Amino acid sequence: MSSEKIARINALAKKAKVEGLTDEEKQEQLQLRTEYIAAFRASMIETLHAVKVIDPNGNDVTPKKLKDSKKKRLH
């Protein structure tokens, strides 16, 4: 997500606290927040796909759900 969009999210949030938003601004804020959350989730999933959990004995104890998700991503 671009820094301009993040700045706009912050500007709308500040304006909402100070003076309120018009209906169009509320719609824009909702759309930008939805886009931000989608980008955040995608980033988090990519981060999790890079994780490998190792116990103190050196055994791979990565949860099965994460391993399965990694396999699906590769195919």
20, with CB counted inside 10 A (0-12, 13-18, 19+), is exposed
Q: State the greatest distance between any 2 C-alpha atoms of the chain, in Å, as a whole number.
A: 59
The model's pLDDT over 22-40, given as tens digits with 9 standing for 90+, comes to 999 999 999 999 999 999 9
Model's pTM, two decimal places? 0.73
Beta strands in 2-74 (DSSP E): none
- Residue 48: both structure tokens together: 């999790």
pLDDT of residue 73: 76
